[in-house]
Amino acid sequence: MIRLLALTLVLFAAPATAIPLGGDAAAEEAAPAEPSQAIEDVQDDGADERIAERISGIFAELPALSAVTVSVEEGVVSLDGTVADQADIDRAAAIAGRVTGVVTVENGLERDLSLDSGVGGLVSLGDRFNDLVALLPLIGLALGVAIIIVMLGYLLASFSALWRRITPNSFLAELVASAIRFASVVLALVVALDMIGAAALMGAVLGGAGVIGIALGFAMRDTVENYVASLMLSLRQPFRPNDHVLIDEHEGRIIRLTSRATIMMTMEGNHLRIPNGQVFKATILNYTRNPQRQFDFELGIDADDDPDAARQLGRETLAAMDFVLDEPEPEARTIAVGDSNIVISFLGWVDQREADWHKARSRAIAAVKKALEEAGFGLPEPIYRLRFDPRTTALPFENIAAGDARSSTASAKEAEKAKGNITAIECDEDVRPADEVAQMVNQERAAKPGDNDLLDEGRPVE
């Protein structure tokens, strides 16, 4: 009884294991079936022989598989022997599996690693060399056609006079010529590869060229950006030679526009080269486009003076100056009231072709200041009240008010008196335009005429 109980415990403790019935055949039935068509339960007489004969006949026509031994039992194909490489092993199994009636393929092929196989590879290499030698005449013909295409492209690109006549400037003409040369080389390469039947190589070459172009584009991003900016500036023509411009914080006169940079001469007479990429993105202020230019300055009068009388006197003073334009008229505006003064802004216009802006402004400031002072207006400086000790006695408020009233009345009277005395003010200072920098620019351009200058005075300015 005890032994029976122990045997029972051992049976329950052991892992459940499926015991195959019927030997190897039952094990094969338990194995997962290969995904294929249904297997017939009855095989025709002589089917194995026909399958073996068919596969052997196919292999006999293929030099790489001619030494393969084929045997068939109940539709199961067994392949034995050696082949040159792994691709032939897979190829043999694939061919045998496609024959009608084959249940499965037992691929026993092995790769031939003997010395004879290596010698066979050398023989194959020799055959390829012989094929290359036979292809040499066609390669020579393709090379000749490619050379002719390239020569025609370069000949067409050499018609520089034609491209300069068609395009707006020499930079674009050179760009068109470069594009024609590049296109001729690509076309010659494509035609030559197509003639020798290397279409796959042609696709690889074009794809590699595209990848290299993208990589170079990222690596030379600044250079490409500057090149495109030069192209756009040559088309848009934002300024003319000798124009007085302010490009961001750089002020000067334009000497020339090249394919890489804008060359300026600063107001101090220094050469300045700005990359066209920066010029294209910069804010450009052109002082030359409109000859009329406004100047302005501020003067302060005493807080007790009459600002309307001061503004009227300043306008009349500016209008009496011969370099100040009558239209638009001079203007004066009260802009602020400070602790001790009233700030007035005076504005006037000059023609830059007849008067230098800086000289005119300087002369106008002196004239208006003198007129205001002669009319009795005070031009006070900041007033500071210093208190040394508590015993400092303040002036009576009534006396201060009376003094301020007398001062205001005197200022108004002096202003009225000055109005009748204003006549045309003759400038004892030369205010003609300063042309030293302009002359230097003209000399620079005359010394190097047409030095890759993309500026065209015959085209409209943007």
What are the residue ranges of CATH 3.30.1340.30 in the chain?
43-111
Q: How many CB atoms lie within 10 A of CB 245?
A: 22
pLDDT value of residue 438: 84
What are the residue ranges of CATH 3.30.70.100 in the chain?
292-384+398-421
pLDDT value of residue 23: 37
pLDDT, tens only, 79-137: 988 887 788 888 888 998 888 888 899 988 888 766 555 555 555 666 667 777 777 88
On whether the CB atoms of residues 269 and 444 are closer than 8 A, the answer is: no
pLDDT value of residue 173: 80
The DSSP call for residue 85 is S
pLDDT value of residue 338: 79
Cα separation, 150 vs 181, in Å, equals 7
Between these two residues, 423 and 167, which has the higher pLDDT value?
A: 167
Q: At residue 294, does pLDDT exceed 90?
A: yes
Q: What kind of architecture, by CATH, is found in domain 292-384+398-421?
A: 2-Layer Sandwich (3.30)
Which two tokens mark 104? 């499965």
Q: How many CB atoms lie within 10 A of CB 395?
A: 8
pTM above 0.85, yes or no: no
The answer to whether domain 43-111 has CATH 3.40.50.720 is no
For tokens 């230019």, the residue is: 293
pLDDT value of residue 115: 53
Which two tokens mark 420? 């009748």
pLDDT value of residue 263: 92
Q: At residue 200, does pLDDT exceed 80?
A: no
Q: What mean pLDDT, rounded, does the chain reach?
A: 78
Q: Buried b / exposed e across 201-224, counting CB within 10 Å, b at 16+?
A: ebeeeeeeeeeeeeeeeeeeeeee
